[in-house]
């Protein structure tokens, strides 16, 4: 892939691919990333995305960075916990302001201090009717103000399977750190690959499928690429199971 020098290390994920990696349908991923128009009381409005985007559209194609991909993962977790997208945006804006960062969700600081945002939001919403947060969502915000409950949302969705450089997420192990599949923006622009190699998981899975599948195919493909059967199996598992679980 030929790309401008300023893109190296950011990761480069066409939006449909980012959606599959985040286990979202492409329409949802696009709305969360880019925002969407809507009409209220006969007037047209635009709701912005949940984060600032680093890259301009090229030829109609939207690419996301590694940080933006992981942000979608955490937004999905908050949605799964019952929060509305407007409230998640408020959390992102407040965290960005408090931390002085454009992408606060994927930082260690959000992992440790993020629940304070919910504590403050809970207090603010009780005194400010303009935020229009439902009674049900008030209760969710109150729950997420608790340390244990907050960790139950953010840990499984992102932080348990991420490596860090300083305060920022630097590598993601989508199947978990006991498996060989890694996504690293420093390696092949973030293409899923076998850790400590430059072998894409898609290449491995395609080769196993072309050889008819089964243990003989796994053994042969591993020998061709200098991989263990376990590494090959992890690549196949990622391509055939993880990427099929779009919401």
| Model pLDDT for residues 44-81, shown as the tens digit of each residue | 989 899 999 999 888 889 999 999 999 999 999 999 99
Mean pLDDT of 89-109: 92
- Going from N- to C-terminal start, the domains of the chain cover 9-167, 173-247
pLDDT of the residue at 137: 86
List of long-range contacts for 106-109, beta carbons under 8 Å, 24+ apart: 106/67, 106/70, 106/71, 106/74, 106/158, 106/162, 106/168, 106/169, 107/167, 107/168, 107/169, 108/164, 108/167, 108/168, 109/167
- The pair of structure tokens assigned to 129 is 């009717």
| Model pLDDT for residues 223-246, shown as the tens digit of each residue | 999 999 999 999 999 999 988 876
| Model pLDDT for residues 105-134, shown as the tens digit of each residue | 999 999 999 999 998 887 775 555 445 677
pLDDT band at 1 (very low <50, low <70, confident <90, very high): very low
pLDDT band at 214 (very low <50, low <70, confident <90, very high): very high
pLDDT of the residue at 221: 97
pLDDT of the residue at 4: 52
Fold of 173-247: Arc Repressor Mutant, subunit A (1.10.10)
């Amino acid at each position: 892939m030929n790309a401008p020098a300023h893109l190296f290390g950011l990761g480069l994920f066409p939006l449909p691919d980012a959606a599959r990696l985040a286990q979202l349908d492409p329409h949802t991923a696009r709305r969360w990333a880019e925002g969407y128009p809507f009409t209220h009381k006969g007037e047209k409005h635009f709701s912005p995305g949940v984060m600032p985007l680093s890259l301009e559209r090229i030829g109609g194609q939207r690419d996301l960075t590694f940080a933006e991909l992981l942000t979608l993962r955490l937004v999905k977790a908050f949605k799964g916990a019952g929060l509305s997208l407007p409230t998640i945006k408020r959390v992102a804006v407040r965290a960005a302001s408090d931390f002085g960062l454009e992408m606060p969700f994927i930082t260690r600081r959000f992992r440790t201090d993020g629940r304070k945002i919910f504590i403050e939001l809970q207090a603010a919403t009780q005194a400010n009717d303009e935020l229009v947060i439902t009674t049900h969502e008030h209760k969710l915000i109150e729950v997420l103000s608790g340390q244990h409950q907050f960790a139950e949302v953010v840990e499984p969705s992102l932080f348990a399977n991420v490596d860090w450089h300083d305060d920022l997420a630097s590598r993601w192990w989508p199947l978990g750190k006991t498996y060989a599949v890694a996504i690293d923006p420093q390696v092949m622009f973030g293409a899923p690959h076998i850790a400590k190699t430059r072998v894409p998981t898609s290449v491995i899975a395609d080769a196993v499928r072309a050889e008819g599948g089964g243990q003989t195919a796994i053994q042969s493909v591993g020998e061709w690429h200098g991989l263990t059967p376990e590494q090959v199996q992890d690549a196949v598992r990622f391509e055939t199971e993880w990427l099929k679980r779009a919401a």
